[in-house]
A and B are shown apart, each in its own frame.
Chain A
Amino acid sequence: RKEVEQDPGPFNVPEGATVAFNCTYSNSASQSFFWYRQDCRKEPKLLMSVYSSGNEDGRFTAQLNRASQYISLLIRDSKLSDSATYLCVVNLGPGAGSYQLTFGKGTKLSVIP
């Protein structure tokens, strides 16, 4: 099982739609989680951290399910500017990799007019 797995997509959705991405991780000791956004040929940028209680930032909601070892990102009222690749990122914690981050391969989102 890969350490961090995501559906590669692409997800093609119309403007205004709600879209959800899921991500699973293999290391139950993982201790912090993130969603990054990457535009084509640009660097990944932190979109939001994912907290155990779930967190929301405007149209974006991130949730963590430790028991099932998955993370989700929900985007409401999609905008054309949301088109990008979304990377699920997991901090392995102090054991394996000494607090290094492991990146999923990303899910590509295209929001269509």
Chain B
Amino acid sequence: DADVTQTPRNRITKTGKRIMLECSQTKGHDRMYWYRQDPGLGLRLIYYSFDVKDINKGEISDGYSVSRQAQAKFSLSLESAIPNQTALYFCATSDPTGNYGYTFGSGTRLTVV
């Protein structure tokens, strides 16, 4: 099993719909992150969580919300999807120091039509 699992892998949704992307990890880490990636823009941080009770906005949190249901689970929601949220979304986890890098999930390719 993968260390970080994201579901779904691919999703097409309509403008205005609510959608949830799920992430679970088996690394036992407290820290989890959500990124989106767009061509030419690199990885951009949406939200991050340092533990179950600690959630923080990243650089592009508008239009998104998150829930940290447990140490191992961190979900990302688009309350009302819009076409410019079409992107590749990655969940990641790390130890508290970051000195071992991040482990990423395989990504969710989201298309909003």
Question: Which residues does A use to contact B, with CB under 8 Å?
Answer: 8, 31-32, 34, 36, 41-46, 49, 87, 89, 91, 98-101, 103-106
Contacts and interface: CB of A to CB of B under 8 A. Distances in A.
A88 to B, nearest CB: 10
Interface of B: 40-43, 45, 48, 50, 88, 90, 94, 96-107, 109
Nearest to B105: A43
Contacts of A104: 42
B109 A41 contact: yes
Contacts of A100: 45, 48, 98
Given A41-B88, A42-B106, A43-B107, A101 B42 contact: no
Contacts of A36: 101
A43 B4 CA distance: 11
A106 B42 contact: yes
Contacts of A32: 97-99
A87 B100 CA distance: 15
9 contacts: A31-B99, A32-B98, A34-B101, A43-B106, A43-B107, A44-B104, A46-B102, A49-B100, A101-B102
B101 A101 contact: yes
Contact of A99 (B41, B96, B107): B96
A104 B96 CA distance: 21
Contacts of B103: 46
Nearest to A85: B42
A43 B90 contact: yes
Residue of A89, A100, A103, A105 contacting most chain B CB atoms (<10 Å):
A100
Nearest to A31: B99
Given A46-B102, A101-B98, 8 more contacts: A41-B109, A43-B90, A43-B105, A89-B101, A91-B99, A101-B101, A103-B43, A105-B42
Contacts of A41: 88, 107, 109
Contacts of B107: 41-43
Ranked nearest first, the 3 interchain pairs of A and B with the lowest CB-CB distance are A105-B42, A43-B104, A99-B98
